[in-house]
Amino acid sequence: MRMRALILSSLLASGAAVAKEEGVPTGKLPADVAPLHYALHLTVDPRRDRFDGEARIRVRLAKASDHVWLHAQQMNIRAARVTDAAGATSDAQAVAHADGGVLEVRFAHRLAAQEVELAFDYDAPFNGQLEGVYKVKVGDDAYAVTQMEPVSARLAFPGFDEPRFKVPFDLALTVPVQDVAVANTRPLREEKSADAKWKTIAYATTPPLPTYLVAFAVGPWDVAEAAPIPPNAVRKSALPLRAIGPRGSKDKLAWALEVAPAIVKFYEDYTAQPYPFDKLDLLGAPDFSAGAMENAGLIIYRDAYLLTDAHSAADHYRSVFNIEAHEIAHQWYGDLVTVPWWDDIWLNEAYATWGQAKATSALRPEYHADLESLEARLYAMANDSLLSTRKIRQPILGRGDIETAFDSITYQKGAAVLAMFERWVGEDTFRKGMREYLASHAFGSGSSDDLIASLTQASGKGDAFAKGMRSFLDQPGVPLVRSELACNAGKATLKLAQSRYLPYGVLSKDAPRWGVPVCARFGRGGGSDAQCFLLERPEQQFDVAGSCPDWYLPNADARGYYRFDLAADDLGRLGAAAAKLSAPEQLVYADAVDSGFRRGSVSAGALLDAMPPLAGADMPQVATALLGRYEWIREHLADAATRPALDAWVTRLYAPRLVRLGWRRKDGEPGTDTAMRTRIAEFLAMVVRDPATRAELAKQGRAALALDGGGKPDLTRADADLLVTALKVTVQDGGEPAFDAAQGAFEADRDTTERYALLGALGATRDPALGARARDYGLSAAVQIGEMGRLYEAQADEPENRAALWQWLTQHFAAYRKRLPPFAQAWLPKTFSPGRCSVADADEMSAFLAPRAKDLIGGDRGLGQALEGIRQCGALREHVDRKALAEWVAAHAVK
Ligand SMILES: [Zn+2]
């Protein structure tokens, strides 16, 4: 409110005239003013509603001016001053422009080109959507936490809130004496106030940082200190290491601490650059909008993604490791070298995603990071098959483009493109280019073009490399490689053609052309070999070395970011040889069948026929590869007559394996068994609704919620890996008593992972009255902002709930939207998309959301993608031959 008053009064003065003259820079700030250094002193008491700040920014004016532009948002600036190079200080006028947080500082008179210091006294509210400086209450405890990326530092302090401005920060925090305060660097000094109620901590000057990597946290934190990470060939001094969590969480921080040193060393070896900051803190916040944030020297997580204990699911340990590997990778990729502008943000995220898989493969081979990345890449390909998808390097035209840049195209497609070009030039060559890039831009900025230049030089492949890589960055879509093998007199030739992969019914006038490194595996007798070809033209022919193969796979090692299309006999021969392929290659084969189905060229029967050979695979990702498509066929094509028969067929395919695996994790069992059990149990219980599977899970869920006696709820009574599904089944089948018990357990529980499981169970109820309670409950103060998505996603997963959920959204849109962090707003339409599969479904969603999309950051893009997905689904459903499916079902009836 104070901000509004400020805008109004200044416009009445002379603001309008200046704004008209020059234009308010709502995109990039002008190039003639640059910050050199920040000194920030913030007074933060998380029990209050606002915090106070003093900011002094040294600034270089490249030319004479009577004002400068910078950023500040929702801030009450009480005083602004400017001190010139000669030391003369005068008052300045701070004028807020635009909702995006552009601040104009007007000097009393024109200043010549020189270095000046801007000083601000201000206060600001703790933010209500988990950005800038926000607070979280847990019982009687209050915490202050920061999240600045991408453009929320302007809520915390006035500044030049763009990634290209990298300068040192000196931060001091005044906080209640009983609180723990942490920041990017080590504390240097601490002083108590005269009344002993406050302490002021001054932190070491940071290396050059962009505003979005500044971080601090204040509250009754538990701190677990580990032994410093010892020096090594790359780093000269020991590195202090700590993990920090909410009060009472100390014991749960041990595992995250234990794995950190090896991860740090892995990247030091790979990059030949020492860890860039003076300490490493891993902090788990009780509420957080993203998964984690790579602030320099102070990584902040959702606490669920940092804390572990003896009852954590196996999958949970794996994600804690993965996220830690991702965020630590960012300390080099993003923090040491930062992109100059948001259109290159893919570099940060693709690197960290690609680096994380590398570190995980090396340090935890049992996690099978290759399969995990491949599953994520296939998910990104589904997004990339929409005409409304983003390019990896999408022009940034506004806030919505910045927020929606953090999607699967940036992370997974970006990482896949790096991995594909790495496969083509070889790991050692690629590392050489990476090292050169990091070394020449350390503590500064590096763009896509800088990276491509370094890699191209190392590759020795000249312009073909640069052109190939750019073709994936600067145009959207997944290449479809049509491949034909011809054999003549024992010599084989491969004809490759490229186009854009488009699902059934989607037409595009564009004819994009990529530089695709196509590596193919050729099988002969018991062995096989891989050969790579660069497909640059629409169609090209290549000689295959060696004799005519028995079978071939046009994506050796599954490293290519493309789909392929084979003649039916070649696909058949490949299917027959599937056992000779590596697990990732088997997954790529399954995707070829699935993507063929989505293009309308593989029948439902052929897709179902491909399932049994995969169902017995050792790797859970392979064994369950086609279950998502099965679910689609079951929901959108089957009817009351065919559905039971299909379910009986698929249950016979998977249930025996689940029974053999048993209903609890065994001591020392391989992680693949655990993941197999979790995936199959969830599929049979939630999709097929198999009564036998549900009965077993309900036993565990009822014990966990103490529904049949046994004192208080205790979620550790259920198998940790099956907990989420067991609770859902229990609430769905247990009626109001089970719902009440889950709600009571949720309110008493401080463990975020358990709270997520309980919220999912509340959301999953299929009872209309309980569903109504669940929906309203999600907006209550009992449910934190960062966790409410669990409830609504679980609601939308159950077909019985969808109509009521939609009705509810139309009545509660404003309240729901108000709780969504900026990151999450664009994807609101997607949360309400499950089950929608026709033009009418798309029209209904559009009629309500299109007029409201502008109230959501990135809403137009999110809605556009959701609607296109719904229409694609409808087109495919119309196309698939139901009669043929009925015939297939009749022929495969379980007797
Ligand atoms: Zn990241």
How far apart CA 250 and CA 258 sit, in angstroms, is 13
Sign of CA dihedral 381, 385, 388, 391: positive
Is the separation of the CB atoms in 523 and 550 below 8 Å?
yes
Selection from 688, 678, 564 nearest residue 621 by Cα: 678
Calculate mean pLDDT across residues 368-385. Answer: 95
- pLDDT grade, residue 22 (50/70/90)? low
User: Could you tell me the pLDDT band of residue 823, with boundaries at 50, 70 and 90?
Assistant: confident
Which is it for strands 187-192 and 198-203: parallel, antiparallel or unpaired? antiparallel
Inform me whether the pLDDT recorded for 401 exceeds 90. no
178-199 pLDDT, tens digit each = 999 999 999 999 999 999 999 9
CA angle 831, 695, 309 (to 5 degrees): 65
Positions at the binding site: 326, 330, 349
pLDDT tens by residue, 767-786 = 999 999 999 999 999 999 98
Whether 18 has a pLDDT exceeding 90, the answer reads no
Structure tokens at 376: 């994520």
Neighbours of 891 (CB within 10 A): 8
pLDDT in the model for residue 433: 98
Residue pointed to by tokens 């919620």: 705
Q: Report the separation in Å between the CA atom of 328 and the middle of ligand 1, taken as the mean of its atom positions.
A: 9
Q: Write the pLDDT tens digit of every residue in 49-85.
A: 999 999 999 999 999 999 999 999 999 999 999 999 9
Judge contact between 459 and 542, C-beta under 8 A.
no
With 80 as the cut, is the pLDDT of residue 367 above it? yes
Ligand 1 center to 208 CA (angstroms): 20
Task: Look at residue 567 in the predicted model and tell me its pLDDT.
Answer: 87
Q: What are phi and psi of 311, to 5 degrees?
A: -100, 5
CA 19 to chain centre: 38
Q: d(Cα 787, Cα 750) in Å, to the nearest integer?
A: 13
| CB-based contacts of 288, cutoff 8 Å, min separation 6 | 130, 145, 147, 300, 301, 302, 303, 786
For residue 60, the surrounding DSSP H or E stretch is strand 50-61
Kindly list the protein residues that place their beta carbon closer than 5 angstroms to ligand 1, a single-atom ion. Answer: 349, 352
Burial of 236 (0-12, 13-18, 19+ CB in 10 A): exposed
C-alpha torsion 87→91→92→95, nearest 10: 150
Per-residue pLDDT of 739-753, as tens digits, reads 999 999 999 999 999
Token readout for 383 is: 């997004």
Both tokens of 757, joined, read 């499981």
**Mean confidence (pLDDT) of the chain:** 94
Residues 30-46, buried b or exposed e (16+ Cβ, 10 A)?
eeebebebbbbbbbbbb
Could you give the percent of the chain with pLDDT greater than 70? 97
Q: What are phi and psi of 449, to 5 degrees?
A: -65, -40
Q: Is the pLDDT of residue 416 over 90?
A: yes
Comparing C-alpha atoms, which of 721, 658, 720, 719 is closest to residue 684? 658
User: Do 473 and 391 contact (CB within 8 A), yes or no?
Assistant: yes
Burial of 169 (0-12, 13-18, 19+ CB in 10 A): buried
C-alpha of residue 349 to centroid of ligand 1, in Å: 5
Name the band, by pLDDT with cuts 50, 70 and 90, for residue 3.
very low
Nearest by Cα to 315 from 375, 380, 257:
375
pLDDT score at 2? 29
As annotated, the residues of the chain forming the CATH 1.10.390.10 domain(s) are 337-473
- The model's pLDDT over 136-164, given as tens digits with 9 standing for 90+, comes to 999 999 999 999 999 999 999 999 999 99
d(CA 763, CA 616): 33
Token digits of residue 48: 């209050």
User: b/e map of 211-226 (b: 16 or more CB within 10 Å)?
Assistant: bbbbbbbbbbbbebeb
Please give the Cα distance from 40 to 655 (Å, whole number): 61
> Annotated active-site positions, please?
327
Separation of alpha carbons 314 and 727, rounded Å = 18
Contact 586, 626 (CB under 8 A): no
Q: For residue range 664-719, list pLDDT tens digits in order.
A: 999 999 999 999 999 999 999 999 999 999 999 999 999 999 999 989 999 999 99
pLDDT, tens only, 496-528: 999 999 999 998 888 899 999 999 999 998 899
Q: How confident is the model at residue 10 (pLDDT cuts 50, 70, 90)?
A: very low
- How far is the centre of ligand 1, averaged over its atoms, from the C-alpha of 146 (Å)? 16
Q: Sort strands 132-138 and 292-293 into parallel, antiparallel or unpaired.
A: unpaired
| Span(s) in the chain for CATH 2.60.40.1910 | 479-586
Q: Is the pLDDT of residue 11 over 50?
A: no
Distance in angstroms (rounded) separating the CA atoms of residues 555 and 545:
17
pLDDT digits (tens, 9 = 90+) for 436-479: 999 999 999 999 999 999 999 999 999 999 999 999 999 999 99
Query: How close is the Cα of 350 to the center of ligand 1, in Å?
Result: 8
User: DSSP string spanning 674-688?
Assistant: HHHHHHHHHIIIIII
Please give the CATH superfamily to which domain 337-473 belongs: Neutral Protease Domain 2 (1.10.390.10)
Half-sphere exposure of 616 (CA within 13 A, CB side): 5
Q: Are 282 and 254 in contact (CB under 8 A)?
A: no
CA-wise closest residue to 468 among 432, 429, 409, 421: 421
CA-CA distance, 101 to 29, in Å (whole number)? 12
614 has a pLDDT exceeding 90: yes
Instruction: Tell me the backbone φ, ψ of residue 238, rounded to 5 degrees.
Output: -65, 150
Q: What are phi and psi of 61, to 5 degrees?
A: -95, 115
pLDDT (tens digit, 9 = 90+) per residue, 615-650?
999 999 999 999 999 999 999 999 999 999 999 999
Number of other residues whose CB lies within 10 A of the CB of residue 830: 15
Which run of H or of E encompasses 654? helix 642-661
Output the CA 88–ligand 1 centroid distance in Å: 44
What does the block give as tokens for 339?
Answer: 């992109």
Task: Detail the residues annotated as belonging to a binding site for Zn(2+).
Answer: 326, 330, 349
| 526 vs 540: CA distance, rounded Å | 29
Q: Strand order in 516-524's β-sheet?
A: 527-535, 516-524, 551-553
Q: DSSP code of 548?
A: -
Spatial CB neighbours of 826, under 8 Å, sequence gap ≥ 6: 400, 403, 404, 856, 857, 858, 859, 861, 862
Longest distance between any two alpha carbons in the chain, whole Å? 95
Average pLDDT over residues 562-589: 93
Length of the chain: 895
Q: Comparing C-alpha atoms, which of 223, 174, 235, 179 is closest to residue 203?
A: 174
The mean per-residue pLDDT over the stretch 381-407 comes to 90
In single-letter form, the type of residue at position 602 comes to: V
CA 409 to centroid of ligand 1, rounded, Å: 13
CATH of domain 479-586: 2.60.40.1910
Q: How many CB atoms lie within 10 A of CB 515?
A: 21
DSSP per-residue letters across 120-154? EEEEEEPBSSS-EEEEEEETTEEEEEEE-TTTTGG
